[in-house]
Structure 1
Amino acid sequence: MTLIAQGFAPVLRRAGALLAVLAVAAPLAACSDEGRLVLHTSSGEHAFNVEVVDTPETRAKGLMFVQDLADDAGMLFDFKQEREVSFWMRNTFIPLDMIFVGADGVVKTIHVNARPQDPTSIPSNVPVQFVLEIPGGRSVELGLKPGDIMEHERVSAPLD
């Protein structure tokens, strides 16, 4: 083996090990996609790319200071158990629809077009585990109503 080949041998071994790890990890990543969420309405299925927030710190920040949000984007707040929750729009610069969802994925209530920078409390009025925030007015465009279904891997009950 030449000196050049001997110098590359450790690099090739590490590259082979990395490829082996990726070959095992890639199928696992394909099985889990917390960033995908589907709303099932009378007008059809509507997919969203969401960021999941589930700690007090990440839930407190939410979409504060965000300047725009794509039509198919949102944020999913997971409170990990059902309870009444309340939101406000302080330091939020874009209008949002807040969709309050039970642990089973059933939409309970919807607050349409929450006003940017408004400190008024927006309560769920019922116990929920999830709150989905999407661009203001989108829930109306999709025909979303209480009783519709949110599909996401964190929802405990499968669709019927």
Structure 2
Amino acid sequence: MRRLFGLTLSAGLLLLSGLACGAPDSSESTEADTTETIPFTTEGRLAFIQDGDSTVTIDLEIADTDSARERGMMQRTGFPNDRSGMLFPFDKERPQSFWMSNTPVALDIVFVDADSQIVNIAKYTTPFSNERYESDAPARFVVEVPAGFADSQGLLEGDRIRWRRLE
């Protein structure tokens, strides 16, 4: 009987200590954080070229699959810094159209043709907007950068890009 009492007492103490450690404090929120953060992955580098000289180089995440292109910057709060961007390479040069639905951050969207020349820039796009931002001419590449980047770097139609994937 003594042994049974000892085992019962030990089990009870273990149960109580487990409840004390595992139970949330009533002052703490028990709501789970369901926000999924999509990390920025540096996969390449891109240089903007004006008059044959590189003016600025940025880190790139490359959206080269259908799902990555569809997601883009949706559900992200921004880039790691003002020298980061996202490149969308397409198989064919054709008119491109982007929108900002589910994108919480303003962007500059740079449309680039197959010869790596900027055809137009949609500046300061509106977050969460259903407005379509379109290339003025067929484009093979699209670069998204933080809003204001094009103005701060003096990017213009006719400037070029040069990019490479990191090993």
TM-score for both structures, normalised by structure 1: 0.72
1:75 partner SS: strand
Residues 70-104 of structure 1: CA deviation (Å, up to 9, x unaligned): 10001000112100010000010110000000111
Q: 1:74 aligns with which of 85, 110, 118?
A: 85
Give, as a single letter, the amino acid of the residue that structure 2 aligns with 1:63: M
Tell me how large the CA RMSD over aligned residues is. Answer: 1.7
Task: Give distance in 1, aligned partners of 2:131 and 2:155.
Answer: 24
Residues 86-131 of structure 1: CA deviation (Å, up to 9, x unaligned): 0000010110000000111111100001010001111112100000
Task: Give distance in 1, aligned partners of 2:93 and 2:43.
Answer: 19
Give, as a single letter, the amino acid of the residue that structure 2 aligns with 1:143: G
Task: Give distance in 2, aligned partners of 1:100 and 1:120.
Answer: 16
- Does the Cα contact within 8 Å between 2:96 and 2:138 map onto a contact in 1? yes
Shift of 1:153: 3.1
**Given the alignment of the two structures, is residue 113 of structure 1 paired with residue 124 of structure 2, yes or no?**
yes
The residue that corresponds to 2:45 in the other structure is 36
Matches within 5 A, 1:135-150: 135-150=146-161
Task: Give distance in 2, aligned partners of 1:35 and 1:97.
Answer: 19
1:115 partner SS: coil
Shift of 1:68: 2.1
- Does the Cα contact within 8 Å between 1:54 and 1:80 map onto a contact in 2? no
- Does the Cα contact within 8 Å between 2:47 and 2:54 map onto a contact in 1? no
Matches within 5 A, 1:1-160: 35-41=44-50, 45-69=55-79, 70-153=81-164
Larger radius of gyration: 2
Task: Give distance in 1, aligned partners of 2:133 and 2:69.
Answer: 15
- Does the Cα contact within 8 Å between 2:100 and 2:131 map onto a contact in 1? yes
Structure 1 residue runs of 5 or longer lacking an equivalent are 1-32, 155-160
Larger CA deviation: 53-62 vs 91-100? 53-62
Give, as a single letter, the amino acid of the residue that structure 2 aligns with 1:59: R
Aligned residues with identical type, % of pairs: 36
Shift of 1:34: 5.0
- Does the Cα contact within 8 Å between 2:119 and 2:136 map onto a contact in 1? no
Q: State the 4+ residue runs in structure 1 displaced beyond 4 angstroms.
A: none
Aligned residues: 122
